[in-house]
Structure 1
Amino acid sequence: MSEITDEQLLERYPGVRIEHDNKAFYRGLLNRTLLMDRCGDCAHWFHPPRPICPKCWSRNIQPTAVKGSGTIHLLIFLHQGPPAPGVSYDTPHPVATVELDEQPGLRFTSTIVGTPNEELAIGQRVRLGWVDRRTGADPKPVPVFERVDS
Protein backbone atom coordinates (compact mmCIF):
# COMPACT_ATOMS: atom_id res chain seq x y z
CA MET A 1 0.00 0.00 0.00
CA SER A 2 1.33 3.45 -0.83
CA GLU A 3 2.01 6.01 1.86
CA ILE A 4 -1.24 7.30 3.29
CA THR A 5 -1.47 11.03 3.93
CA ASP A 6 -2.76 12.40 7.22
CA GLU A 7 -5.90 13.61 5.44
CA GLN A 8 -6.58 10.16 3.95
CA LEU A 9 -6.02 8.56 7.35
CA LEU A 10 -8.61 10.88 8.92
CA GLU A 11 -11.06 10.04 6.11
CA ARG A 12 -10.59 6.27 6.65
CA TYR A 13 -11.19 6.55 10.42
CA PRO A 14 -14.02 9.06 10.90
CA GLY A 15 -14.87 9.55 14.55
CA VAL A 16 -11.52 8.16 15.73
CA ARG A 17 -9.16 10.53 17.49
CA ILE A 18 -6.08 10.37 15.27
CA GLU A 19 -3.10 12.23 16.71
CA HIS A 20 0.62 12.52 16.04
CA ASP A 21 1.35 9.81 18.63
CA ASN A 22 -1.05 7.18 17.22
CA LYS A 23 -1.14 7.85 13.48
CA ALA A 24 1.60 5.26 12.76
CA PHE A 25 -0.51 2.64 14.60
CA TYR A 26 -3.54 3.34 12.37
CA ARG A 27 -1.43 3.48 9.20
CA GLY A 28 -0.05 0.10 10.20
CA LEU A 29 -3.57 -1.32 10.51
CA LEU A 30 -4.38 -0.20 6.97
CA ASN A 31 -1.22 -2.04 5.85
CA ARG A 32 -2.17 -5.15 7.92
CA THR A 33 0.76 -4.59 10.26
CA LEU A 34 0.35 -4.39 14.03
CA LEU A 35 2.71 -1.64 15.18
CA MET A 36 3.59 -1.10 18.83
CA ASP A 37 5.79 1.68 20.10
CA ARG A 38 9.31 0.71 21.09
CA CYS A 39 11.88 2.92 22.77
CA GLY A 40 14.97 3.45 20.66
CA ASP A 41 17.08 3.96 23.79
CA CYS A 42 16.04 1.22 26.27
CA ALA A 43 14.20 -1.13 23.81
CA HIS A 44 11.03 -1.18 26.00
CA TRP A 45 7.79 -1.96 24.12
CA PHE A 46 4.52 -0.25 25.08
CA HIS A 47 0.94 0.21 23.96
CA PRO A 48 -1.14 2.37 23.63
CA PRO A 49 1.07 4.90 21.81
CA ARG A 50 2.57 7.68 23.91
CA PRO A 51 5.02 10.51 23.15
CA ILE A 52 7.61 9.27 25.68
CA CYS A 53 8.85 5.91 26.92
CA PRO A 54 7.12 5.02 30.22
CA LYS A 55 10.30 3.26 31.40
CA CYS A 56 13.15 5.71 30.68
CA TRP A 57 11.28 8.86 29.56
CA SER A 58 13.05 8.98 26.22
CA ARG A 59 11.34 10.64 23.28
CA ASN A 60 13.13 8.31 20.85
CA ILE A 61 10.01 6.28 20.04
CA GLN A 62 9.87 3.93 17.05
CA PRO A 63 6.62 2.31 15.89
CA THR A 64 7.74 -1.30 15.30
CA ALA A 65 5.92 -4.34 13.92
CA VAL A 66 5.26 -7.17 16.36
CA LYS A 67 5.20 -10.84 15.32
CA GLY A 68 1.71 -11.18 16.74
CA SER A 69 2.17 -14.42 18.63
CA GLY A 70 1.26 -14.59 22.29
CA THR A 71 -0.79 -16.07 25.11
CA ILE A 72 -4.36 -15.28 26.15
CA HIS A 73 -4.00 -13.27 29.38
CA LEU A 74 -7.62 -12.19 29.87
CA LEU A 75 -10.77 -13.56 28.24
CA ILE A 76 -14.33 -12.28 28.44
CA PHE A 77 -17.51 -12.96 26.48
CA LEU A 78 -19.76 -10.01 25.65
CA HIS A 79 -23.46 -10.80 25.63
CA GLN A 80 -24.41 -7.30 24.57
CA GLY A 81 -22.68 -4.17 23.42
CA PRO A 82 -22.69 -1.32 20.97
CA PRO A 83 -23.35 -2.10 17.32
CA ALA A 84 -20.12 -2.83 15.48
CA PRO A 85 -19.54 -4.03 11.94
CA GLY A 86 -18.99 -7.79 11.84
CA VAL A 87 -19.95 -8.26 15.51
CA SER A 88 -23.00 -10.30 16.46
CA TYR A 89 -24.17 -10.79 20.02
CA ASP A 90 -26.45 -13.72 19.08
CA THR A 91 -23.78 -15.85 20.74
CA PRO A 92 -21.39 -14.27 23.24
CA HIS A 93 -18.64 -12.34 21.47
CA PRO A 94 -15.11 -13.27 22.69
CA VAL A 95 -12.74 -10.46 23.64
CA ALA A 96 -9.21 -11.36 24.67
CA THR A 97 -6.22 -9.47 25.97
CA VAL A 98 -3.15 -11.21 24.61
CA GLU A 99 0.30 -10.92 26.14
CA LEU A 100 2.60 -10.68 23.13
CA ASP A 101 5.85 -12.63 22.97
CA GLU A 102 8.00 -9.55 22.38
CA GLN A 103 8.01 -8.61 26.07
CA PRO A 104 6.29 -9.61 29.33
CA GLY A 105 3.48 -7.13 30.00
CA LEU A 106 3.08 -6.03 26.35
CA ARG A 107 -0.60 -6.68 25.71
CA PHE A 108 -3.14 -6.06 22.98
CA THR A 109 -6.91 -6.56 23.13
CA SER A 110 -9.03 -7.83 20.25
CA THR A 111 -11.35 -10.70 19.43
CA ILE A 112 -10.56 -14.34 18.73
CA VAL A 113 -11.88 -15.92 15.55
CA GLY A 114 -12.08 -19.47 14.24
CA THR A 115 -12.61 -21.28 17.54
CA PRO A 116 -15.89 -22.02 19.34
CA ASN A 117 -16.23 -20.05 22.60
CA GLU A 118 -16.33 -23.20 24.74
CA GLU A 119 -12.86 -24.17 23.45
CA LEU A 120 -11.19 -20.88 24.42
CA ALA A 121 -9.27 -20.49 27.68
CA ILE A 122 -6.74 -18.28 29.40
CA GLY A 123 -3.19 -19.50 28.77
CA GLN A 124 -3.79 -20.71 25.22
CA ARG A 125 -1.41 -19.71 22.45
CA VAL A 126 -2.70 -17.42 19.68
CA ARG A 127 -1.37 -15.68 16.61
CA LEU A 128 -2.32 -12.50 14.81
CA GLY A 129 -4.80 -12.64 11.95
CA TRP A 130 -6.80 -10.05 10.04
CA VAL A 131 -10.44 -9.58 9.03
CA ASP A 132 -11.95 -6.80 6.94
CA ARG A 133 -14.75 -4.80 8.52
CA ARG A 134 -16.78 -2.43 6.39
CA THR A 135 -17.81 0.81 8.08
CA GLY A 136 -18.22 2.89 4.94
CA ALA A 137 -17.08 2.72 1.35
CA ASP A 138 -13.75 1.10 2.16
CA PRO A 139 -13.19 -2.02 4.27
CA LYS A 140 -10.75 -1.63 7.14
CA PRO A 141 -8.36 -4.38 8.18
CA VAL A 142 -8.91 -5.27 11.85
CA PRO A 143 -6.37 -7.27 13.86
CA VAL A 144 -7.82 -10.41 15.44
CA PHE A 145 -6.31 -13.48 17.06
CA GLU A 146 -6.56 -17.11 16.04
CA ARG A 147 -5.88 -20.00 18.39
CA VAL A 148 -2.73 -22.00 17.72
CA ASP A 149 -3.33 -25.69 18.36
CA SER A 150 -0.41 -27.32 20.18
Structure 2
Amino acid sequence: AIIGTHLYVRQLVYETLILCHKNKIAESLPSFLTKIEQIVEGDVEDCLRKENDNIEEHMELVKKILKNNLQNKKLIRLSQSQLVQKESTHVSEMLYLRVETILNRVNNELCLRSANRSFQASKTSLKTSMEELKQQNSKVEEENSGFVFVENFQ
Protein backbone atom coordinates (compact mmCIF):
# COMPACT_ATOMS: atom_id res chain seq x y z
CA ALA A 1 0.00 0.00 0.00
CA ILE A 2 2.76 2.46 0.90
CA ILE A 3 4.67 1.72 -2.30
CA GLY A 4 1.61 2.53 -4.41
CA THR A 5 1.12 5.71 -2.41
CA HIS A 6 4.74 6.66 -3.02
CA LEU A 7 4.41 6.10 -6.78
CA TYR A 8 1.27 8.22 -7.02
CA VAL A 9 2.63 11.09 -4.93
CA ARG A 10 5.96 11.17 -6.75
CA GLN A 11 4.21 11.10 -10.12
CA LEU A 12 2.00 13.94 -8.92
CA VAL A 13 5.11 15.96 -8.03
CA TYR A 14 6.55 15.49 -11.52
CA GLU A 15 3.29 16.18 -13.35
CA THR A 16 2.60 19.38 -11.40
CA LEU A 17 6.19 20.51 -11.92
CA ILE A 18 5.92 19.94 -15.68
CA LEU A 19 2.56 21.73 -15.92
CA CYS A 20 3.74 24.66 -13.81
CA HIS A 21 6.86 25.06 -15.92
CA LYS A 22 4.94 24.67 -19.18
CA ASN A 23 2.28 27.24 -18.18
CA LYS A 24 4.63 29.64 -16.36
CA ILE A 25 2.97 29.15 -12.97
CA ALA A 26 4.72 29.49 -9.62
CA GLU A 27 6.03 26.11 -8.49
CA SER A 28 4.53 26.25 -5.00
CA LEU A 29 2.32 23.19 -5.57
CA PRO A 30 5.19 20.88 -6.61
CA SER A 31 7.17 22.11 -3.58
CA PHE A 32 4.17 21.42 -1.36
CA LEU A 33 3.84 17.90 -2.79
CA THR A 34 7.57 17.24 -2.47
CA LYS A 35 7.29 17.56 1.31
CA ILE A 36 4.56 14.89 1.33
CA GLU A 37 6.58 12.68 -1.01
CA GLN A 38 9.63 12.83 1.26
CA ILE A 39 7.57 11.70 4.25
CA VAL A 40 6.00 8.87 2.25
CA GLU A 41 9.43 7.86 0.93
CA GLY A 42 10.66 7.61 4.52
CA ASP A 43 7.84 5.15 5.29
CA VAL A 44 8.70 3.19 2.13
CA GLU A 45 12.35 2.93 3.14
CA ASP A 46 11.38 1.80 6.66
CA CYS A 47 9.07 -0.83 5.17
CA LEU A 48 11.75 -2.07 2.76
CA ARG A 49 14.30 -2.32 5.58
CA LYS A 50 11.88 -4.38 7.68
CA GLU A 51 11.39 -6.73 4.72
CA ASN A 52 15.16 -6.81 4.01
CA ASP A 53 14.56 -5.54 0.46
CA ASN A 54 17.16 -3.64 -1.53
CA ILE A 55 16.25 0.06 -1.39
CA GLU A 56 18.45 1.04 -4.36
CA GLU A 57 16.87 -1.60 -6.61
CA HIS A 58 13.44 -0.48 -5.51
CA MET A 59 14.20 3.18 -6.29
CA GLU A 60 15.51 2.24 -9.75
CA LEU A 61 12.28 0.34 -10.40
CA VAL A 62 10.29 3.38 -9.22
CA LYS A 63 12.18 5.55 -11.75
CA LYS A 64 11.34 3.14 -14.58
CA ILE A 65 7.67 2.96 -13.62
CA LEU A 66 7.43 6.74 -13.32
CA LYS A 67 9.09 7.28 -16.68
CA ASN A 68 6.52 5.00 -18.29
CA ASN A 69 3.60 6.53 -16.38
CA LEU A 70 4.60 10.09 -17.25
CA GLN A 71 4.51 9.12 -20.92
CA ASN A 72 1.45 6.87 -20.94
CA LYS A 73 -0.67 7.18 -17.77
CA LYS A 74 -0.95 10.77 -16.62
CA LEU A 75 -2.81 11.48 -13.39
CA ILE A 76 -3.66 15.07 -14.34
CA ARG A 77 -5.38 15.69 -17.63
CA LEU A 78 -6.41 19.21 -18.50
CA SER A 79 -8.73 20.07 -21.36
CA GLN A 80 -6.65 21.41 -24.24
CA SER A 81 -9.47 23.66 -25.46
CA GLN A 82 -9.78 25.25 -22.02
CA LEU A 83 -6.01 25.68 -21.86
CA VAL A 84 -6.07 27.62 -25.12
CA GLN A 85 -9.05 29.79 -24.11
CA LYS A 86 -8.12 30.60 -20.55
CA GLU A 87 -5.04 32.00 -18.91
CA SER A 88 -2.66 30.40 -16.44
CA THR A 89 -4.98 31.14 -13.49
CA HIS A 90 -7.36 28.52 -14.85
CA VAL A 91 -4.53 26.01 -15.08
CA SER A 92 -3.49 26.81 -11.52
CA GLU A 93 -7.06 26.39 -10.23
CA MET A 94 -7.48 23.10 -12.05
CA LEU A 95 -4.14 21.82 -10.76
CA TYR A 96 -5.12 22.50 -7.16
CA LEU A 97 -8.53 20.86 -7.60
CA ARG A 98 -7.12 17.79 -9.35
CA VAL A 99 -4.30 17.39 -6.84
CA GLU A 100 -6.79 17.58 -3.96
CA THR A 101 -8.92 14.87 -5.60
CA ILE A 102 -5.94 12.61 -6.29
CA LEU A 103 -4.50 13.01 -2.79
CA ASN A 104 -7.91 12.14 -1.36
CA ARG A 105 -8.01 8.94 -3.43
CA VAL A 106 -4.43 8.04 -2.49
CA ASN A 107 -5.15 8.63 1.20
CA ASN A 108 -8.33 6.53 1.08
CA GLU A 109 -6.48 3.71 -0.66
CA LEU A 110 -3.64 3.80 1.89
CA CYS A 111 -6.08 3.76 4.81
CA LEU A 112 -8.09 0.89 3.32
CA ARG A 113 -5.07 -1.27 2.49
CA SER A 114 -3.00 -0.83 5.63
CA ALA A 115 -3.47 -1.31 9.35
CA ASN A 116 -4.46 1.76 11.37
CA ARG A 117 -1.11 1.85 13.14
CA SER A 118 0.94 1.50 9.93
CA PHE A 119 2.49 4.42 8.04
CA GLN A 120 1.21 7.06 10.46
CA ALA A 121 3.60 9.75 9.20
CA SER A 122 2.33 9.34 5.63
CA LYS A 123 -1.32 9.22 6.65
CA THR A 124 -0.96 12.33 8.80
CA SER A 125 0.92 14.16 6.07
CA LEU A 126 -1.70 13.29 3.45
CA LYS A 127 -4.59 14.27 5.73
CA THR A 128 -3.01 17.59 6.72
CA SER A 129 -2.14 18.37 3.11
CA MET A 130 -5.67 17.65 1.92
CA GLU A 131 -7.07 20.01 4.54
CA GLU A 132 -4.66 22.74 3.42
CA LEU A 133 -5.62 22.21 -0.22
CA LYS A 134 -9.34 22.30 0.61
CA GLN A 135 -8.85 25.65 2.33
CA GLN A 136 -6.88 26.94 -0.64
CA ASN A 137 -9.48 25.70 -3.11
CA SER A 138 -12.40 27.17 -1.18
CA LYS A 139 -10.65 30.58 -1.12
CA VAL A 140 -10.10 30.42 -4.88
CA GLU A 141 -13.73 29.40 -5.48
CA GLU A 142 -14.97 32.31 -3.35
CA GLU A 143 -12.73 34.76 -5.21
CA ASN A 144 -13.93 33.51 -8.59
CA SER A 145 -17.61 33.02 -7.81
CA GLY A 146 -18.68 36.50 -8.87
CA PHE A 147 -20.87 36.78 -5.79
CA VAL A 148 -20.48 39.40 -3.12
CA PHE A 149 -21.29 38.26 0.39
CA VAL A 150 -22.83 40.98 2.53
CA GLU A 151 -23.20 40.49 6.24
CA ASN A 152 -26.20 41.90 8.13
CA PHE A 153 -28.14 42.60 4.97
CA GLN A 154 -31.52 44.13 5.79
TM-score by length of 1: 0.23
Q: Which has the higher contact order (CA 8 A, sep 6+)?
A: 2
Q: Larger radius of gyration, structure 1 or 2?
A: 2
TM-score (norm 2): 0.22
Q: Where is the strand percentage greater, Structure 1 or Structure 2? A: 1
Higher helix proportion: 2
